[in-house]
A and B are shown apart, each in its own frame.
Chain A
Amino acid sequence: MTLHTDQIASRIKAGVLGMALAAPLALAGAAQAQTYPDPAQTLDWTIAFGPGGGNDIMARTIVEILNTYDLYPGNITLENRAGGSGAVGWGHLFGQAGSGYGISTTSGSFVTTPLQADLPWAPADFTPVALLATDDLVLVVAGDSEIQDIGQFIEFAKANPVNIGGTGTVNVDFIVPALFAQSAGFEFEYISFNSMADQTTALLSGAIDAMAGNPGEILGLIDSGDLRALAYSGNSTPEALAGVPTMAEAGHPIGVSMPRGLILPPDAPAEAQAFWIETMQRVVETPEWAAYIENNTLTPTFLFGEEFRTFLTETQNGFEEVLRSVGAIQ
Chain B
Amino acid sequence: MDIFSDLFMGLSIAITPMNMLYLLIGAVVGMIVGVIPGFGPSAGLAILLPLTFGMEPVGAIMMLAAIYYGSMYGGTITSILLNTPGESATVASTFDGYPLAKKGRAGPALVMQAVASFVGGTVGVLLITVLAPMFSQVSRSFGPPEYFLLALMGLLTLIVMIGSNWKLGVISALIGLALGTVGVDLETGQGRYTFGSAELIGGIYFIPIAIGLFGLGELFYAFYTGMHRAGEGTLVDYRKETRFWPTAQDYLSTRWTMVRGSILGFVVGVIPGAGATIASLMAYSAERSLSKTPENFGKGEMAGLVAPETANNAASSGAMVPLLTLGIPGSASTAVLLAAFMLWGLRPGPLFMEQNSELAWGLIASMYLGNIILLVINIFAIPLFVQIVKVPYRMLGPCIVVICALGTFTVNASFIEVWLMMGAAIVGFFMRMYGFSPAALVLALVLGPLAEQALRQTLTISRGSFDIFFERSASLSIIAVTIGLVVLLPLMGRCGARAKAGKKIEG
Which A residues are closer than 8 A to B by beta carbons? 1-4, 50-53, 56-57, 60, 80-88, 113, 116-119, 161, 163, 168-170, 174, 189, 191-195, 197-198, 200-202, 204-208, 216-224, 226, 291, 295-296, 323, 326-329
Contact = CB atoms under 8 A, between A and B. Distances in A.
A224 B349 contact: yes
Interface stretch (B151-159, B181-189, B422-430, B477-485): B181-189
A295 B47 contact: no
Contacts of A323: 189
Nearest to B337: A52
Contacts of B329: 197
B88 to A, nearest CB: 16
Interface in B324-357: 326-330, 335-336, 338-339, 342-343, 345, 347-352
A239 B351 CA distance: 19
B273 A195 contact: yes
B199 A51 contact: no
Contact of B188 (A82, A85, A207, A327): A327
Given A52-B46, A80-B413, A219-B349, A198 B326 contact: no
A223 B349 CA distance: 8
Interface stretch (B115-123, B137-145, B259-267, B437-445): B137-145
A226 B144 contact: no
Contacts of A217: 327, 338, 342
A169 B187 contact: yes
A87 B414 CA distance: 11
Given A168-B186, A191-B461, A206-B143, A220 B201 contact: no
B461 A163 contact: yes
A169 B188 contact: yes
A197 B342 contact: no
B198 A113 contact: yes
A205 B136 CA distance: 12
B49 interface: yes
B363 to A, nearest CB: 16
A193 B347 CA distance: 23
A200 B343 contact: no
Contacts of B350: 220-221, 224, 226
Contact of A83 (B187, B199, B345, B349): B199
A52 B49 contact: yes
Interface residues of B, number: 67
Contacts of A218: 327, 349
B272 interface: yes
Residue picked from A168, A194, A197, most chain B C-beta under 10 Å: A197
Nearest to B468: A207
Given A205-B146, A207-B144, A207-B458, 5 more contacts: A50-B43, A81-B413, A202-B143, A206-B472, A220-B326
Contacts of B457: 191-193, 202
B461 A189 contact: yes
Interface in B286-311: none
A220 B189 contact: no
Query: What 5 pairs across the A-B complex have the smallest Cβ distances?
Result: A220-B349, A207-B143, A52-B46, A87-B198, A328-B189
B421 to A, nearest CB: 14
B143 A208 contact: yes
B398 interface: no
B161 to A, nearest CB: 25
Interface string B194-227: 1011110110000000000000000000000000
Contacts of B352: 220
A174 B184 CA distance: 15
29 contacts: A2-B25, A2-B51, A51-B47, A56-B46, A82-B413, A83-B198, A84-B198, A84-B201, A85-B201, A86-B198, A88-B198, A117-B191, A117-B196, A117-B198, A119-B198, A168-B189, A169-B184, A169-B186, A192-B457, A197-B272, A197-B329, A201-B143, A201-B272, A201-B273, A202-B457, A221-B350, A222-B349, A226-B350, A326-B188
Given A169-B186, A220-B347, A220-B348, A57 B339 contact: yes
Given A202-B143, A220-B350, A220-B352, A116 B413 contact: no
A194 B186 CA distance: 7
Contact of A329 (B189, B342, B345): B189
A216 B342 contact: yes
Contacts of A3: 51
A170 B189 contact: yes
B349 A57 contact: no
Nearest to A222: B349
B463 to A, nearest CB: 7
B60 to A, nearest CB: 12
A223 B347 contact: yes
Contact of A191 (B189, B330, B460): B460
Contacts of A224: 349-351
Given A85-B198, A161-B463, A197-B273, A51 B49 contact: yes
Contacts of A81: 413
Residue picked from B45, B194, B342, most chain A C-beta under 10 Å: B342
B453 interface: yes
A275 B196 CA distance: 37
A216 B335 CA distance: 13
A208 B461 contact: yes
Residue picked from B49, B139, B143, B188, most chain A C-beta under 10 Å: B143
B460 A189 contact: yes
Contacts of B472: 205-207
B65 to A, nearest CB: 15
A133 to B, nearest CB: 15
A175 B414 CA distance: 30
Nearest to B45: A52
Contacts of A85: 198, 201-202
Contacts of B25: 1-2
B474 A113 contact: no
A88 to B, nearest CB: 7
B190 A197 contact: no
Residue picked from B184, B197, B345, B453, most chain A C-beta under 10 Å: B184
Nearest to A225: B350
A175 B273 CA distance: 24
Nearest to A167: B186
Contacts of A113: 198, 201
A83 B273 contact: no
A206 B145 CA distance: 11
A11 B272 CA distance: 38
A87 B460 CA distance: 31
A3 B25 CA distance: 12
Contacts of A174: 189
Residue picked from B25, B142, B144, B352, most chain A C-beta under 10 Å: B144
B50 interface: yes
Nearest to B46: A52
Contacts of B463: 161, 189
Interface string B454-492: 000110110100000000101000000000000000000
Contacts of A204: 140, 326
Nearest to B49: A52
B234 interface: no
Interface in B20-76: 25, 29, 42-43, 45-47, 49-51
B129 interface: no
Residue picked from A52, A161, A221, most chain B C-beta under 10 Å: A52
Given A57-B343, A219-B349, A224-B349, A4 B143 contact: no
A193 B147 CA distance: 12
A88 B46 contact: no
